[in-house]
Amino acid sequence: MSAQMICQKELFSLPENIHYLNCGYKAPLLKSSEEAAVKALIRDRNPANISPADYFNQTQEVKQIFSELVNAKASQIAIIPSTTYGFSSALKNVRPKTNGYAIVVHNEFPSGYFSIETWCKDNDNILNVIKPADNDAGQSWNDNLVNAINSSTSVVLISSIHWMNGLRFDLERIGKRCKEVGAIFIVDGTQSVGVIEMDVKRFHINVLVCAAYKWLLGPYSIGLAYFDEYFNDGSPLEESWINRSNAANFSLLTNYESNYFPDAGRYSVGETSNFILMPMLLASLKQVRDWQPVNIEKYAQRLIQPLLSKLRDFNIPVIETPYLSYHLSAFQLPANADYELFKAELLSNNIYVSVRGEFIRVSVNVFNDDDDIQQLVDVVNNCI
């Protein structure tokens, strides 16, 4: 596909009269994913239509496509039901350092925070919560993160971008520092994978966990995770039959095979095949691969410029490059703004955004167009 994307709204079933600027909350389904779901339901009417090979073929294809999106091998990808499952699978196998500590960022998404907090309690490590030092949140937050990582750091668990305001963390710099000191680097890529570059090798990521229902355009209750070689001999959360090396031979399942599928195969959730969600996810991943995240990001960059310009006109702070995520950005209304009027104007104009903490979060994707942004710009202009 050409690097110069155009709006792809016709591939979705969004109503014409709404301005859905909220992909960071949940993505709309592609029509192709809807069609895949219908076909899957029809097939499920008659189990004779489902062969033993069907338990594995689509999951393998899903792993392959996701591995291409993050620059990994398909064998290092696991199917998970949620980010929490991925964090728990990883942290179960992270060895703590004596008198060590773990790192998380301020206001991290609860799933990540609770996972690492529990790990610290169970492993007698201290949890270090990193904040920005000043108003230059992008630079100072990244600096503080890197400076906090030392030989006593057991694990760093952060999101690739901050889910509240879209601040982008310098994964390459942070990952390099983790590798230097022997700290495990776990990244929640839910709010970025599928829309910006993700390279687990260049960023030295040990574990990348990603829910599928946002920027991968997939259904809820399914996700993907990358585990590097550190975890190849680890212990999974479940002892599922489908993760064993002889699983494809149904007649020999009671020849209790102790070996798992290679690499990250052991970390996939039980009933991995999910005959309804898997075809939906496969359809969405194929589309994202066809578009390519770099092209989606460029589209979002062009689309969001009028809003960023309007905010700057009103002296409303916005995160600047290189820490700005064009697909997910946020702003705060000035103190003199009528917040109730702003919410009412959003509602009356069918504009959908998210409020996260003090931030109004705007998240755009290829189903958005210039009119969606202009409608929001007009509301900002009227209320400030």
pLDDT digit string (tens) for 50-77?
A: 999 999 999 999 999 999 999 999 999 9
- Cβ 223 vs Cβ 83: under 8 Å: yes
Residue-wise pLDDT tens digits, 94-107: 999 999 999 999 99
pLDDT at 135: 62
High-pLDDT (> 90) share of the chain, %:
90
The structure's pTM equals 0.96
Question: What's the average model confidence in pLDDT over 26-30?
Answer: 98
User: Residue 136: is its pLDDT beyond 80?
Assistant: no
* Three-state secondary structure readout of the chain: CCCCCCCCHHHECCCCCCEECECCCCCCCEHHHHHHHHHHHHHHCCHHHCCHHHHCHHHHHHHHHHHHHHCCCHHHEEEECCHHHHHHHHHCCCCCCCCCEEEEECCCCHHHHHHHHHHHHHHCCEEEEECCCCCCHHHHHHHHHHHHCCCCEEEEEEECECCCCCCECCHHHHHHHHHHHCCEEEEECCCCECCECCCCCCCCCCEEEEECCCCCCCCCCCEEEEECHHHCCCCCCCCCHHHECCCCCHHHCCCCCCCECCHHHHHCCCCCCCCCHHHHHHHHHHHHHHHCHHHHHHHHHHHHHHHHHHHHHCCCCCCCCCCCCCCEEEECCCCCCCHHHHHHHHHHCCEECEEECCEEEEECCCCCCHHHHHHHHHHHHHHC
Q: Which residue has the higher pLDDT, 67 or 4?
A: 67
pLDDT at residue 333 in the model: 87
Predicted confidence (pLDDT) per residue in 205-226, tens digit: 999 999 999 999 999 999 999 9
What would the mean pLDDT of 348-367 be, rounded to a whole number? 93
Average pLDDT of 331-349?
90
Q: What is the pLDDT of residues 220-260, one digit of tens each?
A: 999 999 999 999 999 999 999 999 999 999 999 999 999 99
Flag whether pLDDT at 23 surpasses 50. yes
Residue 204 · residue 173 · CB < 8 Å: no
pLDDT digits (tens, 9 = 90+) for 292-325: 999 999 999 999 999 999 999 999 989 989 999 9
